[in-house]
Amino acid sequence: MALTGRTVSWWVRLRRPCPAAALRGPAVWLPTGLAACQRFYSGRDKEKIDMSAYPVESIRNFSIIAHVDHGKSTLADRLLEITGTIAKTDRNKQVLDKLQVERERGITVKAQSASLFYNYKGVNYLLNLIDTPGHVDFNYEVSRSLSACQGVLLVVDANEGIQAQTVANFYLAFEAQLEIIPVINKIDLKNADPERVEKQLEKLFDIPVDECIRISAKQGTNIEKVLEKVIEKIPPPQFNTTDPLKALVFDSTFDHYRGVIANIAIFGGEIQKGHKIVSAYSNKRYEVNEVGILTPDEQPTHKLYAGQVGYLIAGMKEVTEAQIGDTLFMYKQPVEPLPGFKSAKPMVFAGMYPVDQTEYNNLKSALERLTLNDSSVTVHRDSSLALGAGWRLGFLGLLHMEVFNQRLEQEYNTSVILTAPTVPYKAVLSSAKLIKEYGNSEITIINPAQFPDKHSVSEYLEPTVLGTIVTPQEYIGKIIVLCQDRRAVQKEMLYIDEHRVMLKYLFPLNEIVVDFYDALKSLSSGYASFDYEDAGYQAADLIKMDILINGNPIEELATITHNDKAYATGKFMCERLKDAIPRQLFEIAIQAAIGKKIIARETMVETLQEE
């Protein structure tokens, strides 16, 4: 049997199906508010919005953060409606989730900003809102969004209470020293218990009970109170229009017709069409073609001023020209660049290859464009005997990998083969020859094919994460057994109220990356939640396991595993491959081997011709 590329993508096909969410109909945006009318009737070519009417004192920049599904995007819908940014209609369902993948999966994967105009006590305010994703794999989007804000709405479901990502997102905002406004959502639910959730917030984060706003984003209850709190509590940005221009690029997208569109936050000065600007990253000079705000579509403005958030088009043709985290400044007026963003740390790596090698260049350009919009993906060139030229990509998790793959297909019409994911292991080399070859005594292994033999290594290291689990107490016993089975070490156990417990465990990353979340959900009937953060490396007894098809090792199917788990992993892979490989007219032996020792085997009997 010839090994086809499709066979190698067995792993991807065997993953659980993505949560099916009905495709939501497109929202019709007929603006009714004052500012929105201005936008609608002025149109792109007519009168542009004059942003000078919004000095820093009347600007509030904030993000909405929460655990998955606690209602961030629904709250954003209501805020857009109440400010007249979009018309109130039943069809407004998560309008800031613009990507097809977001609508199909019913989750936010990309932070999305929108400028709202609101008159409060006779003053016109400009509110820049950023809706962020909730899933741990997209946390990088949250931390980047926070850099353009002075405050956050921390949304918590009145029924589910504090969950693992609530904890993670609270600390992101807290460490960034942002003003945190607690919002208890879904108070319309039959089982809503806002009092309990308020007590949890007080116990865990020291948030006074009377600071929480109880709302129903779905029914539009108390949304004005949220806006009032945003204006009263979140400080305006402390930037000056009279300073030299300093603009942070916090996101960017590629438009086939207009080139690169950069989302910018103005930290000083002002910017308008015709200005000559320089990128601190590349030192290249550009002339500004258009600036504007997102409402949530692009709406050109005359200028953008200090403290405002908007977009810029400046003739950047190549995707590599708009680096997220870059600082833009005025030509001949250089400024100290902003610190930018910490680069994302990939948690899993997988090989990506075009299904057909003639598509290599198309896929390369699609990858360049999509990684502009999703800068958390790392890309290294790679090649394989069976699959040809391709790349080794680093992702923040498996959902991130699936979503990226889906976006490549949907937005760039590509078709790819993904190999099984692996976490980035390390080896401390003892062989002088290898140290010379690599130029270092410690190497990172992102491809099992590079796994050095144990005779040339003094120690192998595996990545670890600090996992947070929040669960109703009745599932604790089962969860502890699950964690122990995954080689995890308990670090903390805390009752957040009389029914709910927060557990912290140090996990080897490899043990949670594939199916831990599914296992946790299944044994807690869906009630436990999980989040994790990087916790460095620990020594580990690692081995490389080969997969042989009819006696031939298949490089693309090799995997690195902990010695204690080798037999179970080998058995699992052979069984799964047996299901994934199409039956042939001859018998096929699928074997897992460590060195020369076969540790598992499955045999596929031949298919009779008439079948």
- Please state the φ and ψ torsions of residue 351, each to the nearest 5 degrees: -80, 140
CB of 385 to ligand GTP, least distance (A): 40
Least Cβ distance, residue 97 to ligand GTP (angstroms): 7
**Using CB under 6 A, which of 61, 92, 94, 263 touches ligand GTP?**
94
559 binds ligand GTP (CB under 6 A): no
Token code pair at residue 336: 């100290």
Closest CA to 8 of 301, 384, 372: 384
> Does 403 participate in binding ligand GTP (rule CB under 6 A)?
no
Q: Does 69 bind ligand GTP (CB under 6 A)?
A: yes
Q: Is 72 annotated as a binding residue?
A: yes
Provide, rounded to whole angstroms, the least separation between the CB of residue 509 and ligand GTP: 23
Instruction: Closer to ligand GTP by CB, 74 or 524: give it.
Output: 74
Angle at 140 between CA 319 and CA 168, to 5 degrees: 175
CB 182 within 8 A of CB 207: yes
Q: Position of tokens 């790392």? A: 378
Q: Does 96 sit near ligand GTP (CB under 6 A)?
A: no
68 contacts ligand GTP (rule: CB under 6 A): yes
* Type of residue at 479: I
The type of residue at 144 is R
Cβ distance to ligand GTP smaller for residue 73 or 378 = 73
Stretch touching ligand GTP by CB under 6 A, among 185-193, 353-361, 418-426, 435-443: 185-193
CB of 71 to ligand GTP, least distance (A): 3
- Give the integer Cα–Cα distance in Å for 59 and 52: 11
108 contributes a contact to ligand GTP by CB under 6 A: yes
Q: How many residues bind ligand GTP (CB under 6 A)?
A: 20
Strands 151-157 and 59-66: parallel
Residue closer to ligand GTP by CB (options 143, 559) is 143
φ/ψ of residue 372, rounded to 5 = -65, -40
Q: Which is nearer to ligand GTP, 75 or 566 (CB)?
A: 75
Q: Say if residue 134 carries a ligand binding annotation.
A: yes
CB of 507 to ligand GTP, least distance (A): 23
Paired strand residues for 249: 264
186 near ligand GTP, judged by CB under 6 A: yes
Size of the chain, expressed as the number of residues it contains = 611
Return the structure tokens found at 273: 């069409």
Least distance from C-beta 216 to ligand GTP, angstroms? 4
Q: Does 426 bind ligand GTP (CB under 6 A)?
A: no
The reply to whether 185 sits near ligand GTP by the rule CB under 6 A is yes
Query: Cα 584–587–590 angle (5° rounding)?
Result: 100
Which residues pair with residue 497 across a beta bridge?
none
| Residue whose CB is less far from ligand GTP, 216 or 468 | 216
Phi then psi for residue 155, to 5 deg, are -95, 130
Smallest distance from ligand GTP to CB 594, Å? 41
Is 73 marked within a binding site? yes
215 vs 60, 73, 134, 223, 485, CA distance in Å? 21, 14, 19, 7, 41
| DSSP secondary structure code for residue 583 in this structure | P
Q: Tokens 């599904």 belong to which residue? A: 69
Task: Tell me whether residue 185 is annotated as binding.
Answer: yes
Minimum Å gap between C-beta 416 and ligand GTP is 25
Residue with tokens 């993508």: 9
3-state DSSP helix/strand/coil percent for the chain, to nearest 5?
A: 30, 35, 35
Closest separation in Å from C-beta 197 to ligand GTP: 13
Shortest Å, Cβ 227 to ligand GTP: 16
Stretch that binds ligand GTP, among 63-71, 424-432, 582-590, 601-609 (CB under 6 A): 63-71
Q: How far is the CB of 344 from ligand GTP (least distance, A)?
A: 19
**What is the CB neighbour count within 10 angstroms for residue 86?**
28
Q: How would you write 57-87 as a 3-class SS string?
A: HHEEEEEEEECCCCCHHHHHHHHHHHCCCCC
**How far is the C-alpha of 418 from the C-alpha of 384, rounded, in Å?**
12
Q: What is the dihedral of CA 377, 284, 331, 252, to 10 degrees?
A: -30
Stretch that binds ligand GTP, among 186-194, 498-506, 526-534, 603-611 (CB under 6 A): 186-194
Closer CB to ligand GTP, residue 190 or residue 332?
190
Does the annotation place 327 within a ligand binding site?
no
- Binding of ligand GTP by 296 (CB under 6 A): no
> Cβ 522 to ligand GTP, closest distance in Å?
20
- Whether 67 has a binding-site annotation, put simply, is yes
Q: Is the dihedral of CA 362, 363, 369, 370 positive or negative?
A: positive
∠ CA 152-533-138, nearest 5°, is: 55
Does position 189 interact with ligand GTP (CB under 6 A)? The reply is yes
> What is the spatial distance between Cα 271 and Cα 266, in angstroms, rounded to a whole number?
8
11-19, 37-45, 216-224, 234-242 -> range binding ligand GTP (CB under 6 A): 216-224
Is 132 annotated as a binding-site member?
Answer: yes
Among 188, 195, 287, 297, which residue interacts with ligand GTP (rule: CB under 6 A)? 188
Closest residue to ligand GTP: CB criterion: 134
Among 5, 31, 71, 300, binds ligand GTP (CB under 6 A): 71
Contact call for residue 70 and ligand GTP (CB under 6 A): yes
As measured in angstroms, the least distance from the Cβ of 468 to ligand GTP is 17
Please give the Cα distance from 436 to 453 (Å, whole number). Answer: 16
DSSP H/E element including 39: helix 34-42
String of DSSP letters for 367-428: HHHHHHH-TT-EEEEEEETTTEEEEEEEESSHHHHHHHHHHHHHHH---EEEPPPB--EEEE
Return d(Cα 225, Cα 182) in angstroms, integer.
Answer: 12
Q: Is 529 annotated as a binding residue?
A: no
| Contact call for residue 400 and ligand GTP (CB under 6 A) | no
Query: By CB under 6 A, which span of 71-79, 254-262, 412-420, 519-527 interacts with ligand GTP?
Result: 71-79
Distance CA 416, CA 196 (A): 48
**592 near 574, Cβ under 8 Å?**
yes
The single residue among 74, 128, 166, 405 that binds ligand GTP, judged by CB under 6 A, is 74
* 18 in contact with ligand GTP (CB under 6 A): no
C-alpha 292, offset from chain centre:
26
Nearer to ligand GTP, 107 or 330 (CB): 107
> Taking CB under 6 A as the rule, does residue 72 contact ligand GTP?
yes
Q: Footprint of ligand GTP on this chain (CB under 6 A)?
A: 66, 68-74, 94, 107-108, 133-134, 185-186, 188-189, 216-218
Indicate the annotated binding residues.
Answer: 66-73, 131-135, 185-188
Indicate the annotated binding residues for GTP.
Answer: 66-73, 131-135, 185-188
